[in-house]
Chain A
Amino acid sequence: MARSGSAGSFGPTGRLPGEIGRAGFPSLWKMFAIGGSTWKDKAAAVLLRAVASTSILIVLLIFLFLGKEAAPLAAGPGIKSLLAERWVPVSFQQVRFGLLPLVTGSLLVTLLATLFTIPFGICAAVYVAELAKPWERELLKPFIEILAGIPSVVIGFFGLVVLAPLVKDLFGLSSGLTALTGALLLALMAIPTVISISEDAIRSVPESYKSASLALGASRLQTLWKVTVPAALSGIIAAIMLGMGRVIGETMAVLMVTGNAAVVTASPLASVRTMTATIAAEMGEVPFGSDHYRALFWVGIVLLVATFGLNMVAQRVLKKHQER
């Protein structure tokens, strides 16, 4: 039981790098610069520091904990075994802990989902922010927010019952549980977030830019695509990154609809298995301290590093864009 508990606590790790990004080192620095004159001020400052430090401490502890559980693999099958091409953690012949199929699975699903999310999210945001009539906006906004709040298991059910059969019939497959199905579901989950945040960014573009463009003879659509959207780009990129964060970290929905076959493939119509789904599915049953157990922690580390990297790239892109 304690083991399934650890599986449960794994879910949110996919989100953590985002928090690292926000409460990063500059703010750590600022925290310690809080000054106070009276005794009460000082006590409050200490308390605040303690609370703020906790989040950083937790992140560090997670890294440490993951490392501690993962490291002993070196003594067993060795770190090199992670480079194998197959993931067969339980077998009567030979077990294999190759991460490649899981990494490509996650990559495929994430890239596909992003591919759907970006154009759809941006277009919808542009529509809601700039083209919709006031009453349309009143109708759409709450709807989008509700969509953003639906639990992923429920969306997973929808995928299983509606989307998977649709994909199966559409492409004449034997099973509708494919990377494409997972990606579509993930897009469905990410799009509301992308829409809300992008819409805010688009609406905060100064009216004067639009006037200038219109006065030069640009049409409303030209103004939108050539002035308004580029001016809102940093916000839109942030929105996409947040959406991608959700896509990579998402577990339940992909577990339900991707078919969970750990194979190396680039085909959207093949079954795949993502890193998150692997951890969620196998952590509950794995013998504590076994090689399989250690390998799963390696999956967690790869996931964490990947999201961390994504976050850093995002920050870089944002910063570059803001400097212009």
Chain B
Amino acid sequence: MVEGQQYEDPGRPKVEAESVDFWYGPTQALFDVSMSVPARRVTALIGPSGCGKSTFLRTLNRMNDVIEGTRLAGRILIDGEDVYRAGTNVVALRKRVGMVFQKSNPFPKTIFENVAYGPRIHGTRNRAELIEIVEQSLIRAALWEEVKDRLDASAMGLSGGQQQRLCIARALAVDPEIILMDEPASALDPRSTARIEDLIDQLRVDYTIIIVTHNMQQAARVSDFTAFFFEGRLIEFGPTKQLFTTPTVKQTEDYITGRFG
């Protein structure tokens, strides 16, 4: 969180959830979640394990569609458009809403091919253009200096932290507007974690970032807004500073002070 920053009205929310219920087969994982995520801000999702943070995150780029037997009620709006409306182009949606996973998952390809994968999928064929995109994405992901001399080496040879930044570069390469991160640093050592947090801090200017984290300090450090989930419900949502200093709900207070979860 940026000390003393003013939360002026950021205009139309980038992402809006309206009474979202979500089911995995017969079990309901989200209950009546409504939330407005402001544009070009970092929003953290916190809450105890199994409370539905990842589930909620995946509703935003429809990655839950891949799981058999899932169902959603309510609406998810991005720039005011319902992404679950019949006829929505999921490919275009996922191009706008990038995702970074908990466990870094580079493809078993070269560093270059990892970053170029997205643009290629979306139709960029021109080699010079690809090279430019790869370089820019790696620079933005703060990885360029470390890998510029070995773009043709396998991505599997990078360290865990580098792999995660590569995954961020890969997501940036398709030029998304929103980036979803599901515990992006939970498998990393403190130094790599710090680098990822620095990176998020740089990216907040251009992207709307939603990050799931189990680490209270991390949420406090990187986010402008925080949402606290509990048992599939959104309990409290507000500016991070306010939520951490003067939570209005008892459960939030118990959680952030470490009394459960």
List residues of A whose CB falls within 8 A of some B CB: 206, 208-209, 211-219, 222, 226-227, 230-231, 324
Contact = CB atoms under 8 A, between A and B. Distances in A.
Given A214-B66, A216-B174, A217-B174, A222 B121 contact: yes
A259 to B, nearest CB: 46
A145 B163 CA distance: 40
B105 A216 contact: no
A96 B61 CA distance: 72
27 contacts: A208-B101, A209-B108, A211-B101, A212-B101, A212-B105, A212-B167, A213-B121, A214-B63, A214-B66, A214-B94, A215-B98, A215-B99, A216-B95, A216-B118, A217-B93, A217-B121, A217-B122, A218-B118, A219-B91, A222-B121, A226-B117, A226-B121, A227-B107, A230-B108, A230-B109, A231-B107, A231-B108
Contacts of B99: 215
Interface string B72-113: 000000000000000000111111001101010111110000
Contacts of B118: 216-218
B105 A209 contact: yes
Q: Which of A206, A209, A211, A218 has the most CB of B within 10 A?
A: A218
Interface class of chain A by DSSP:
helix
B179 to A, nearest CB: 11
Contacts of B105: 206, 208-209, 211-212
Nearest to A231: B108
Given A209-B107, A211-B66, A324-B108, A217 B117 contact: no
Interface of B: 61, 63, 66, 90-95, 98-99, 101, 103, 105-109, 117-118, 120-122, 154, 167, 170-171, 174
Contacts of B106: 212
Contacts of A324: 108, 154
Nearest to A205: B108
Nearest to B167: A212
Contacts of A211: 63, 66, 101, 105
A219 B121 CA distance: 9
Contacts of A217: 90-95, 118, 121-122, 174
Nearest to B99: A215
Contacts of A219: 91
A215 B94 contact: yes
Given A206-B105, A216-B118, A231-B108, 20 more contacts: A208-B103, A209-B107, A209-B108, A211-B105, A212-B106, A212-B107, A212-B170, A213-B107, A213-B117, A213-B121, A214-B66, A215-B61, A215-B63, A215-B101, A217-B90, A217-B174, A218-B118, A219-B91, A226-B120, A227-B117
A227 B106 CA distance: 11
Contacts of B90: 217
A219 B103 CA distance: 22
For B63, B108, B118, B170, the residue with the greatest tally of chain A CB atoms inside 10 Å of its CB is B108
Nearest to B156: A324
A211 B109 CA distance: 16
Nearest to A218: B121
* From A211, A216, A219, residue with most partner B Cβ within 10 Å: A216
A208 B90 CA distance: 19
A16 B170 CA distance: 46
Contact of A216 (B66, B108, B109, B121): B121
A63 B98 CA distance: 60
B63 to A, nearest CB: 6
A209 B163 CA distance: 13
B183 to A, nearest CB: 14
Contacts of B120: 226
Contacts of B167: 212
A212 B166 CA distance: 12
Nearest to B95: A217
A216 B154 contact: no
Nearest to B104: A208
Given A211-B66, A230-B109, A231-B108, A216 B117 contact: yes
A111 B202 CA distance: 56
Contact of B171 (A216, A218, A227): A216
A230 B118 CA distance: 16
Contacts of B171: 215-216
